[in-house]
Amino acid sequence: MKLSKWLLVVSMFLLSIGLTESNPASASAEGLAPLEPAAAADRLDLTMGSAKMIHNGVIYQSAQPVAAKEGRTYIPFSSIAARYGYAISYDAAKKESIAANDKHRLVFKIGSGFAARDGVQTKLAGAAYISNGYLMVPLRSWGEMADSTIAVVGKQITLKWSTAVIPPKPTADFEVQPAEIYAGQTLVTYVDHATNATGMPFMDERWTGRMDVFPDAGIYIVTREVEDSNGVWSDPYSVTVTVKPPNLPPVADFATDKPQYRIGETVTYTDLSSDDENAIVRSAFTGNDKAFFEPGDKAVTLTVEDKNGLTSTVTKTVTVTSEVLYTKDEYDRLFTATGDIYAVDGQAVLNYPSYKYAIVSEPSQMIRSNSPETLVQEGIEYHAQMTGKVRFMFHNVNKIGYPVTIHLLATNMGNSSVNYNKSAAGMGGPTASPELAGKLSTSRYLTSLASNPAPQWSTIRPGETIEVLPEIAKTPIKPGESLSSYVDAYSDKELLYNIVVTAVGKDPKAELQNLPVMPRDGVHVRGTFYNADRSIAIEDVLGATPQRIMFGEKGGIDTILDGIDETTGQLEYNRGNYGVLYRLHLSHVAPRTMIALNARGGLYTGAFLVNNQLVTVANNQALRSSDQAAVMYRTGLLEEDVDIVFTIASGSNLPIAMTFTPLPPLRP
């Protein structure tokens, strides 16, 4: 045998048993056939016993040198996986090391002679082991599992692999809309959800069973195939379409509880409309007054609409006789819902005797931040150093030109920790309506107050700043929007409170030291006020004859609080007494008395707690003139004591009159 042939035989034998520690140069690719992929784009050069790795000409340092063990060559798992672009993870429960990319998932386990590629078990050239804390895996096995070729010349080892990806077949997914399809009626839309890995437009598509309108009820199968730019067709994708019988329009119908009515008698309407699918989504009456105040035949119309947009209309006649049960004024006072508006004679209200009550001021603290009401820059709206219980009230409109957030910050300036809590709170907005923001914050604050929430305690360390009311900063205030809020806070030691306005995304705590104090707008109020809770107890009988109690009246009993603007040191007057909490205890409200609210200064909308029940004024509307009133409460057949708690709603106007008038007698 010639020498060259003998060497070839020896080489093939060594290839079959793998690299050896004594002569690593004698093994060519640890038994791998030296396939050289035409599209190979990555090359990794290694040296036995060295930690240097050369990947496409760039030098990297391996976690451990290339090592030989029991006749096999090993490489650090983490280092080789990184060069191949695999993401590495470890499953502690299974004690498995995982390398994954968009093509393969390779799983190795310490001490195991097997690994998994894409869920399929593979026998390794040697068991994985730990060296100096790093997992070592057999080089030949890694090459096979990672679709590589291996070439060995002396101590030099070269791995090559292709990064070329064969695009998967396209998919022909689609969706049929709408969800409910009616035979002969529904225009069907086909929504494309197909995928194409080439990124090119589809060259062709084939449909089976596709129709824009299905003529008959039943089950249909619609199938689609698409062809990509490589000429590869997708697998068929099918959708089962259930077509319902044609939809019938609803049938509008209603009835009244009587064939005819007296003037001022309540009419009860019962909607009797029907639909073949029981799917009426809208019912709209016109002319269905609760009562009529002129005799004659009254046309009442009902229109109903089903979920598919089909409608039906019916008109019936309600006959009203000339007999009078109640006048309109009597009816409104008897039957207007609590919180709703009814018409009054605004001038006549001024003729009601104004009750001269007495106010007991409670030693409470309140901060009102309403100047500038219109925000034109970022900065500090107000700051004050306070101890004990404090009620915060702020109301602002964003005119800065970009979205902002408002933050209430508390800083411990002392040398010992401060125990702090917050309790009742309410927020309105952001909204384009300042009146609505004020109404919502007032109603939510009073609702919170009525629930007597447990204080949320926390400790503020020396030098620490916390955000008191983070919920108000969750929703940005867009340009033109308003935000109004109340919160009750308490601290057992002094805190520095700052009300801060910043652009969305800024950290208010980090910005605090650099923010200027905003200048006052010269119109609205900001300041610290004391004795901001007012108790009014009335022992006399109210409601036996028409009476009124006035709040916010110029020169009246309800005088304006004075305080101090701690940003400037100047005297401040709480015009409107916004933020002041009023508690009325009425010991003797006459039987069958209506308590109502009459706006005397223009628009008013807010909320009241009446016997601990929230009443909003005026529900989904607002009092807009002195000729309107909103129902707050009606007493029953016996005298009652009534408790009313309220605060003047931001964005509303004063004064307001709380009226007490006898109810008309009920008639059969």
Poorest-pLDDT segment among 157-171, 179-193, 291-305, 638-652: 157-171
CB 98 within 8 Å of CB 91: yes
**281 phi-psi bin (left φ>0, alpha ψ -120 to 50, beta other):** alpha
Predicted confidence at residue 249, as pLDDT, reads 94
Closest CA to 224 of 211, 238, 213: 238
Mean pLDDT for the stretch of residues 506-516: 93
- Name residue, tokens 């005397």: 600
**341 phi-psi bin (left φ>0, alpha ψ -120 to 50, beta other):** beta
In a 3-state reduction of DSSP, which class is residue 27?
A: coil
Q: Has residue 271 got a pLDDT over 50?
A: yes
Q: Has residue 11 got a pLDDT over 60?
A: no
| pTM exceeds 0.75, yes or no | no
More confident residue, 313 or 230: 313
What backbone phi and psi angles, to 5 degrees, belong to 464?
Answer: -85, 145
Supply 414's token pair: 């002392």
Kindly report, residue by residue over 385-417, the tens digit of the pLDDT.
Answer: 999 999 999 999 999 999 999 999 999 999 999
240 pLDDT band (50/70/90 cuts)? very high
Give whole-number Cα distances, 663 to 59, 337, 587, in Å: 95, 14, 19
- Name residue, tokens 């002319």: 287
Burial label, 650 (beta-carbon count in 10 A; 0-12, 13-18, 19+) = buried
Q: Has residue 541 got a pLDDT over 50?
A: yes
40 pLDDT band (50/70/90 cuts)? low
Longest alpha-carbon distance in the chain:
134
Kindly report, residue by residue over 150-203, the tens digit of the pLDDT.
Answer: 988 889 999 998 866 566 789 999 999 999 999 999 999 999 999 988 788 899
Predicted confidence at residue 165, as pLDDT, reads 58
Predicted confidence at residue 34, as pLDDT, reads 41
Mean pLDDT for the stretch of residues 42-58: 94
204 pLDDT band (50/70/90 cuts)? very high
In angstroms, rounded to a whole number, what is the distance separating the alpha carbons of residues 404 and 480?
11
Predicted confidence at residue 164, as pLDDT, reads 63
Strands in 148-153's sheet, in edge-to-edge order, are 58-61, 52-55, 40-47, 156-162, 148-153
In angstroms, rounded to a whole number, what is the distance separating the alpha carbons of residues 649 and 442?
6
Kindly report, residue by residue over 320-359, the tens digit of the pLDDT.
Answer: 999 999 999 999 999 999 999 999 999 999 999 999 999 9
Q: How many residues does the chain have?
A: 668
Q: Has residue 255 got a pLDDT over 50?
A: yes
Mean pLDDT for the stretch of residues 433-444: 92
Predicted confidence at residue 609, as pLDDT, reads 97
| Mean residue pLDDT across the chain | 90
Burial label, 162 (beta-carbon count in 10 A; 0-12, 13-18, 19+) = middle
HEC secondary structure over 508-538: HHHHHHHCCECCCCCCCCEEEEECCEEEEEE
Radius of gyration of the chain (CA): 41
Mean pLDDT for the stretch of residues 232-260: 95
SS3 content of the chain, % helix, strand, coil (to 5): 10, 45, 40
Predicted confidence at residue 248, as pLDDT, reads 93
Q: Which helix (H) or strand (E) holds 629?
A: strand 628-634
Q: Which residues contact 446 (CB under 8 A, 6 or more apart)?
A: 426, 607, 608, 609, 614, 645, 646, 647
Predicted confidence at residue 408, as pLDDT, reads 95
Closest CA to 148 of 61, 71, 41: 41
Predicted confidence at residue 479, as pLDDT, reads 95
More confident residue, 231 or 528: 528
Kindly report, residue by residue over 450-466, the tens digit of the pLDDT.
Answer: 999 999 899 999 999 99
Q: Which helix (H) or strand (E) holds 15?
A: helix 3-17
618 pLDDT band (50/70/90 cuts)? confident
Q: Has residue 18 got a pLDDT over 80?
A: no
CB 409 within 8 Å of CB 392: no
Distance of CA 95 to the CA centre of its chain: 40
- Name residue, tokens 């096979």: 144
In angstroms, rounded to a whole number, what is the distance separating the alpha carbons of residues 18 and 26?
9
Supply 313's token pair: 């209309």
DSSP state of 309: S
Q: Has residue 148 got a pLDDT over 80?
A: yes
Q: Has residue 601 got a pLDDT over 50?
A: yes
